[in-house]
Chain A
Amino acid sequence: MQNLEFIKEFIEEATVHVETVENGLLLFGNGTDEPDTIHGIFRAVHSIKGTAGFFGLQNIIKIAHVMENLLGEVRNGNLAMTNDMVDYLLAANDCLKEMIVDVENSDDRDVSVHIENITAILENRKPNPSIEPVVEFVITDEKNQEVLFADNEKTIITDALKHGHGLYKIRLRLNENIKANPSPVMFFNKLSSIGQIIDSYTDISEVGGLDDILNADINFIFLFTTVLEKTLISLALDIPEEDIVELDIDTKKEDLAQILMKDLDFSNAVQKLEPLSVQRQIGESNTGTTKDIIAHSVAIEEMKSVNSPGSSMISSASPNVDDAGDMVKKAQAVAVDDTVRVHVSLLNDLLNLASEMVLGRNQLLRCLEDHRKEIAGLNSVLQNIDNITTELQEKIMQTRMQPVAKVFNKFPRIIRELSKKLGKDIDLQMEGTEVELDKSIIESLADPLTHLIRNAADHGIERPELRELQGKSKTGHVFLKAYHEGGRVNIDIIDDGAGIKVEKIKAKALERGLMRASEAESMSEREILNMLFQPGFSTAEQVTDVSGRGVGMDVVKTNIEKLGGAIDIMTRPGQGTTFRLALPLTLAIIPSLIVEVAGQKFALPQVNLQEMVRIKPGDPNRKIERCQGAQVLRLRGRLLPIIHLGNVLGLRKEPLDTTKVVRVLVLKIGTKQYGLAVDAIHDGEEILVKPLPKHLGECPCYSGVTILGDGKVAMILNPEGISGKANLRFTEEQPKKSAEEEQSAMESMAESQNLLLFQCSGTETFSLDLSMVARVEPIQASQIERIGEKEYIQFRGDSLRVIRPEQYLPVTRREGQPDKLYVIIPKLVKYPMGILIHRIDDIIQTRVKFNQENIKAKGLVGSTILHNRIVLVINIYDLFELAAPDQYQVHERHSHSGNRRTVLLVEDTPFFAKMERSYLEWAGYRVLYGSNGKEAWEILQNSSVDVVVSDIQMPIMDGYELVKRIRADQGFASLPVIALTSMTDERSRQLGREAGFDFYEAKLDKERILDRLEEALRLRREAG
């Protein structure tokens, strides 16, 4: 059944045409149409009509016909395209689209609405005097019957006549005549290239429906104008001459003359029918509209430039039959499209084979590695195979790449309709439509993106009156942007609407029972925003039929994650929302890192890999610290949770052994970051992703399987799933990407603090800086022993005094204690004491902003708000001084030691700055303050300073740099500089002394700091 193939081809072709029509019409809607637009639409509709004629698809022909009539009027300037017309045409085009997809049932549809609508426009239009005089003519067929034409058809004929074209009626027998041509579509294209079809109809009087058409021979009759003679048409189209009937055109001679005159004066008419003008250049060898007019003109240009014999032959339209036939064929050959349609399954097979070949190459290289030197010439052969395979794979990958325009193109339409439906003014802008992604990704993107676009229009953009009230432009903007970033493609959907109200989401999530009130309190903004992706969540106040049915966002997230992508929300109340999709370029082959745990190899996709960290035991700069079971690594001032892959997968029970070298992979998913420890790291390898076998069920830790170069199967790790399995809860807001302003850059660089949040017997939440905590030990209440007024526990074979902060601080106290308690063992203290607490709340990383001084007491640095709770920050030295005055009381001699001398305190962390300042002021120093080295340096230039006390790790300019500058400057030669730091290991001390610090002390040791200050000042006096 060859005809079935034809139908398929028609569907493919027509689908492209309806898209052209839709896109073109939308340009009219925006007012961004160009002169070419209407021609393009017209040609597309015309082609649909023409080809549908071959199959007797009556409904499609009918709709295409009225559309063509209307478009023809517009094209000829008799009618201006209005918004209403665009709407009707779009609706008709949609109907066409649906019928094309379902050709077999297309004739059962009721299309009368569309036809009536469009006909009505045609009838209602005001008679618009034609710019050019239409020739009065009467056309008769062989039986001398008059043939009637629609106006636009007359125009075509008029135009054709001007160029001396003949008018023919051609009868085609579908099965017979088209045999010589590959298919009706090709035949139609051929027809279009030599002339212009004016009208066509299918004689289906004997045919019942599509099924019959497929088998029966049907007659297809069309009216056709061309410059070619009857014999030439027969030759060119390969149809018998007797099926071609030349029609007589009876025109008044003076009319024709007038038109020809006009044509000579200024080629007004020619310009209007651009295809004709182009084709006239090649000696009018062929006329009429063809769908690949561009290909033609390009071909013509080429012919001109090379000045081939063919071009001269064409330009001298010879009457010789053979020559003319040749000519037609040549023009045809040059115009052939340089693309080939290939079925996707073939591409997929190719891709799979190429991938297997890559694996084969890997195996080959591995096998022959040892013999490279032994066998002469092997090395270059292997290299050659290596390169070719890589290139082959890349090229095949490219065949599957498609521009995102494929998905983006439907959004102007959606936005146009939404803005009408919702009564909002919305403008859609798109950028980066040329960015390419794998076909399978492009296809799966359509639904999620549509959903997000609808959301932006429905929930995001406010009503116009509301926008005006807020001083925004009445028109809302939706911005769709695709761009490359770090080996991935990001797609941003940005609206300048109301933004998402975090409180509202919280309330809704509580109402829906998606979280408990207690959870809500401790959730960060990001976590709350992520509630949007929970199944069964909808924030729309009214459920509209556009969106807000409570399904979708969770599906969006799942779909994006299935593609190996991630979705992120950024919102600013009143200013808009951005959804960011981060997508892999392709799914099939990905670069990965092979890692090993418990003797088993796993593949880790490199897209998520940020860096690899090797931690040697005893390295003071990089060490894994423990925090109540949780292991963390300090990486550039941030705490990175560390989990071991073996623990997550259940391959090992024992916790991470920090006495050996630990290899940590820093992984990033969206804004979340964590460290995955593994036993060994092998090479990087390009792997072919195969889906997880269904029988494995739900294994969140894996995203697929692959076959490694050694032929063994390896699981592909899924960083997202692993973090879920390991119960990593990401609470804190990561600093924004810099580059915005220096301010935000500074903020993100500022040393943030890691706070341990805990509670004692009362309701207050306390916090301590983690840098002052050596460890936290769980203990049983029964282990606490009382000696006199004091409490002790046994700790590492020694007795350790423990204190309860609530006994010394002005906070609530309750009787009774749980069986299980915790003891915080502080570090950097002279006389160790444990702090007894009831419950550990959390460890968070944040930059503390202290509240106004309304909560003030000895033992507290101040208060701050974290997770919507007031948190009291404990001053551990004050607290210890209260608990053990004999050990901790700073000698009274210090109280006025400062003597109004000036200290320049340089410290970026507000918490430490506040504490240190309080010591210094207590001792009677005058304190100047700089939050980093640069600020301090500026202060030094303008003020007289007796001594500098500086932190080491600071943004912009650190302590080392500062002291180097001071030492390099003659004017400050004798200025004492004391380093105060939490890095108190010997190596850091060494570094500090080399940099030029006079003293190197631990932060917060009040007495020692004051001693050092005096000593430094005394030395200076002596030196002076």
Chain B
Amino acid sequence: MTGKVLTFYLGGLLFGLDIVAVKEIQRNIEYTPVPDSPAHIVGLFNMRGQVVTLLDLAYLLNNEKEPEKGRTVCIVLKPKADAPDHIGFLIERTGSVVDIHDDISEGPPANMSGELTRFVKEVVKLNEELLMVIDSEVIFEQ
């Protein structure tokens, strides 16, 4: 793709999301865990009267439940017409906004793990590191 991507770190890796899909970044959130809910649900929090469902993206990506790290930064996605609920996910820290274009990106490499390839739309070859761009549609499907 060509356009701006918001980058963030999760599990030490650099990920990115099409900036069009992002509603906002929330810091210092206090979320409420939901006992007896699916494993990929972290909890719910109140964003100006809207209830946002927090997903565990790290868990979705590698199927491992990480110990609670007390993270309080999250990215909230723009709700879509067919998925009006607000969803978001916790991240380690935000990166920056980078411009990408088709010349420097390609599809996920063949040896990438199966779970990851479901989410990673393409890999962008930045100068210093690789950026994995996540497909927000797939997150909504969870």
Which chain A residues have a beta carbon within 8 Å of chain B's beta carbons? 356, 359, 600-601, 648-651, 690, 693-697, 699, 701-702, 705, 707, 711-715, 725
Name the one of B31, B32, B55, B142 contacting A715, with C-beta atoms under 8 angstroms: B32
B residues 3-21 in Cβ contact with A at 8 Å: none
In the bound complex, CA of A696 to CA of B55 (Å): 10
B62 at the binding interface (Cβ < 8 Å): no
Known contacts A693-B85, A695-B87; decide if A705 and B51 are in contact (CB<8 Å).
Answer: yes
Contact A699 B45, beta carbon cutoff 8 Å = no
Contact B44 A650, beta carbon cutoff 8 Å = no
B137 to chain A, nearest CB (A): 14
- Other A-B pairs beyond A600-B33, A707-B46, A712-B32, 17, CB < 8 Å: A359-B49, A650-B35, A650-B36, A694-B85, A695-B53, A695-B55, A695-B85, A696-B34, A696-B37, A696-B38, A696-B41, A699-B34, A699-B37, A712-B46, A713-B43, A713-B45, A713-B51
Contact B46 A713, beta carbon cutoff 8 Å = yes
Known contacts A693-B51, A694-B83; decide if A715 and B46 are in contact (CB<8 Å).
Answer: no
Contact A356 B49, beta carbon cutoff 8 Å = yes
B30 at the binding interface (Cβ < 8 Å): yes
Known contacts A359-B49, A690-B51, A693-B53; decide if A713 and B44 are in contact (CB<8 Å).
Answer: yes
In the bound complex, CA of A547 to CA of B32 (Å): 46
Collect the chain A residues with CB atoms within 8 Å of residue B32's CB. 600-601, 712-715
Q: How many A-B residue pairs have CB under 8 A?
A: 62
A644 to chain B, nearest CB (A): 12
B49 to chain A, nearest CB (A): 5
In the bound complex, CA of A601 to CA of B35 (Å): 11
Instruction: Report the nearest A residue to B33, measured CB to CB.
Output: A600
Contact B53 A696, beta carbon cutoff 8 Å = yes
Collect the chain B residues with CB atoms within 8 Å of residue A713's CB. 31-32, 43-46, 51
Which chain B residues have a beta carbon within 8 Å of chain A's beta carbons? 30-38, 41, 43-46, 49, 51, 53, 55, 83, 85-87, 142
B60 to chain A, nearest CB (A): 11
A595 to chain B, nearest CB (A): 13
Collect the chain A residues with CB atoms within 8 Å of residue B44's CB. 693, 705, 713, 715
A123 to chain B, nearest CB (A): 56
Contact A697 B37, beta carbon cutoff 8 Å = yes
- Please indicate which of the listed interface residues A359, A651, A690, A713 has the most CB atoms of chain B within 10 Å of its own CB: A713
Known contacts A690-B51, A705-B51, A713-B31; decide if A699 and B46 are in contact (CB<8 Å).
Answer: no
Collect the chain B residues with CB atoms within 8 Å of residue A712's CB. 30, 32, 45-46
In the bound complex, CA of A694 to CA of B51 (Å): 11
Collect the chain B residues with CB atoms within 8 Å of residue A702's CB. 34
Collect the chain A residues with CB atoms within 8 Å of residue B142's CB. 695
Query: Which 8 A-B pairs give the minimum distances between C-beta atoms?
Result: A649-B35, A693-B53, A713-B44, A713-B32, A693-B85, A695-B53, A649-B36, A707-B46
24 contacts across the A-B interface (CB closer than 8 A): A649-B35, A651-B35, A693-B53, A693-B85, A693-B86, A695-B53, A695-B55, A695-B87, A695-B142, A696-B37, A696-B41, A696-B53, A705-B51, A707-B51, A711-B46, A712-B30, A713-B32, A713-B43, A713-B44, A713-B46, A713-B51, A715-B32, A715-B34, A725-B36
Instruction: Report the nearest A residue to B83, measured CB to CB.
Output: A694
Collect the chain B residues with CB atoms within 8 Å of residue A694's CB. 83, 85
Contact A600 B83, beta carbon cutoff 8 Å = no
Instruction: Report the nearest A residue to B35, measured CB to CB.
Output: A649
B83 to chain A, nearest CB (A): 7
Instruction: Report the nearest A residue to B38, measured CB to CB.
Output: A697
A718 to chain B, nearest CB (A): 11
In the bound complex, CA of A44 to CA of B32 (Å): 56
In the bound complex, CA of A648 to CA of B35 (Å): 9
In the bound complex, CA of A349 to CA of B83 (Å): 20
Collect the chain A residues with CB atoms within 8 Å of residue B38's CB. 696-697
Contact A695 B41, beta carbon cutoff 8 Å = yes
In the bound complex, CA of A661 to CA of B128 (Å): 61
- Please indicate which of the listed interface residues A600, A648, A696, A725 has the most CB atoms of chain B within 10 Å of its own CB: A696
In the bound complex, CA of A814 to CA of B140 (Å): 62
Name the one of A648, A697, A707 contacting B49, with C-beta atoms under 8 angstroms: A707
A600 to chain B, nearest CB (A): 7
Instruction: Report the nearest B residue to A646, measured CB to CB.
Output: B35
Collect the chain B residues with CB atoms within 8 Å of residue A725's CB. 36
Collect the chain B residues with CB atoms within 8 Å of residue A701's CB. 35-36
B8 to chain A, nearest CB (A): 20
In the bound complex, CA of A650 to CA of B33 (Å): 12
B131 to chain A, nearest CB (A): 26
Collect the chain B residues with CB atoms within 8 Å of residue A601's CB. 32
Collect the chain A residues with CB atoms within 8 Å of residue B31's CB. 713
- Please indicate which of the listed interface residues B46, B55, B86 has the most CB atoms of chain A within 10 Å of its own CB: B46
Collect the chain B residues with CB atoms within 8 Å of residue A714's CB. 32
Collect the chain A residues with CB atoms within 8 Å of residue B51's CB. 690, 693, 705, 707, 713
Instruction: Report the nearest B residue to A352, measured CB to CB.
Output: B49
In the bound complex, CA of A694 to CA of B142 (Å): 9
B90 to chain A, nearest CB (A): 14
Instruction: Report the nearest B residue to A702, measured CB to CB.
Output: B34
A730 to chain B, nearest CB (A): 21
In the bound complex, CA of A985 to CA of B49 (Å): 54
In the bound complex, CA of A795 to CA of B120 (Å): 62
In the bound complex, CA of A694 to CA of B85 (Å): 7
B37 to chain A, nearest CB (A): 5
Collect the chain B residues with CB atoms within 8 Å of residue A715's CB. 32, 34, 44
Instruction: Report the nearest B residue to A706, measured CB to CB.
Output: B51
Instruction: Report the nearest B residue to A356, measured CB to CB.
Output: B49
Collect the chain A residues with CB atoms within 8 Å of residue B49's CB. 356, 359, 707
Collect the chain B residues with CB atoms within 8 Å of residue A356's CB. 49
In the bound complex, CA of A702 to CA of B46 (Å): 17
- Please indicate which of the listed interface residues A356, A359, A693, A711 has the most CB atoms of chain B within 10 Å of its own CB: A693
B81 to chain A, nearest CB (A): 14
B44 to chain A, nearest CB (A): 4
A206 to chain B, nearest CB (A): 41
B101 to chain A, nearest CB (A): 33
Name the one of A359, A600, A695, A705 contacting B35, with C-beta atoms under 8 angstroms: A600
Instruction: Report the nearest B residue to A355, measured CB to CB.
Output: B49
Collect the chain B residues with CB atoms within 8 Å of residue A707's CB. 46, 49, 51
In the bound complex, CA of A679 to CA of B106 (Å): 54
A181 to chain B, nearest CB (A): 38
A410 to chain B, nearest CB (A): 32
In the bound complex, CA of A714 to CA of B86 (Å): 16
In the bound complex, CA of A359 to CA of B46 (Å): 12
In the bound complex, CA of A693 to CA of B51 (Å): 8
Collect the chain B residues with CB atoms within 8 Å of residue A650's CB. 35-36
Collect the chain A residues with CB atoms within 8 Å of residue B53's CB. 693, 695-696
Collect the chain B residues with CB atoms within 8 Å of residue A696's CB. 34, 37-38, 41, 53
In the bound complex, CA of A106 to CA of B53 (Å): 46
A221 to chain B, nearest CB (A): 47
B43 to chain A, nearest CB (A): 8
In the bound complex, CA of A311 to CA of B36 (Å): 72
Collect the chain B residues with CB atoms within 8 Å of residue A705's CB. 44, 51
Collect the chain B residues with CB atoms within 8 Å of residue A711's CB. 46
In the bound complex, CA of A705 to CA of B53 (Å): 11
Collect the chain A residues with CB atoms within 8 Å of residue B35's CB. 600, 649-651, 701
Collect the chain A residues with CB atoms within 8 Å of residue B86's CB. 693
Collect the chain B residues with CB atoms within 8 Å of residue A648's CB. 36
Known contacts A359-B49, A690-B51; decide if A699 and B36 are in contact (CB<8 Å).
Answer: yes
Collect the chain B residues with CB atoms within 8 Å of residue A690's CB. 51
Collect the chain B residues with CB atoms within 8 Å of residue A693's CB. 44, 51, 53, 85-87
Instruction: Report the nearest B residue to A705, measured CB to CB.
Output: B51
In the bound complex, CA of A711 to CA of B50 (Å): 11
Instruction: Report the nearest A residue to B86, measured CB to CB.
Output: A693
Instruction: Report the nearest A residue to B41, measured CB to CB.
Output: A696
Collect the chain A residues with CB atoms within 8 Å of residue B85's CB. 693-695
Collect the chain A residues with CB atoms within 8 Å of residue B45's CB. 712-713
Instruction: Report the nearest A residue to B141, measured CB to CB.
Output: A695
B107 to chain A, nearest CB (A): 27
Instruction: Report the nearest A residue to B36, measured CB to CB.
Output: A649
